[in-house]
Amino acid sequence: MKWIAYGLLATAAMTGTAWGHGSGNDNAGKKPARAVEETAFGRAGDAKRVSRTIHIEGRDNMRYTPSAIRVRQGETIRFVVANRGKLLHETVLGTRRELDAHYELMKKFPDMEHDEPHMVHLKPGQTGEMIWQFTKAGEFYFACLMPGHYDAGMMGTIIVAPARRSP
């Protein structure tokens, strides 16, 4: 959510000032702007390390195609999500618990603006992408949190199989 992102940026800016103090060099510019945050369901993926592209379509019948996706732990997936309906739809990755909590917020603040690597918001006919690395095995979800859509079952599962052990 936006206010979390602002918090991180503010912290980064302050840290950058501290490092830069007295050196005269712009070392801060060589550091990553923002550390990749590890979540319960993985982390933002690197476009250079995409192992697979998976297409998802959302429709006004509140269903996704496909509704179930299988990946392997460690994989970086490029999700290409298309809104095939006439309504706004979005696709948010997460655990069931996080999606439930996020949905409650969406209902309270329908105009809440947010943009994170694990979500895409799509106007009718629009296509968007998200790149995500699944670092943890388990069962996760992708869902549309537009008010009413989540309740109607606009959700799919992502099963992340444990990584193969190296011989």
Q: Which residues contact 41 (CB under 8 A, 6 or more apart)?
A: 93, 94, 95, 98, 118, 134, 136, 138, 140
Q: Which of residues 19-48 bind Cu ion (CB under 5 A)?
A: none
Give the residue with the Cβ less far from Cu ion, 43 or 121.
121
Give the residue, chosen from 114, 118, 121, 149, that forms a contact with Cu ion under the rule CB under 5 A.
149
Q: How far is CA 140 from CA 18, 44, 60, 94, 159, in A?
A: 39, 15, 23, 6, 6
* Residue 114 within binding range of Cu ion, rule CB under 5 A: no
Q: How far is the CB of 144 from Cu ion (least distance, A)?
A: 3
Nearer of residues 12 and 112 to Cu ion, judged by Cβ: 112
121 is a site residue for Cu ion (CB under 5 A):
no
Tell me which residue of 107, 119, 114 sits closest to 147, measured CA to CA.
107
Q: Which helix (H) or strand (E) holds 32?
A: none
Tell me: does residue 143 bind Cu ion (CB under 5 A): no
**74-113 mask for Cu ion (x: CB under 5 A)?**
---------------x------------------------
- Is position 146 an interface residue for Cu ion (rule: CB under 5 A)? yes
d(CA 133, CA 131): 7
Interface contacts to Cu ion, rule CB under 5 A: 89, 144, 146, 149, 154
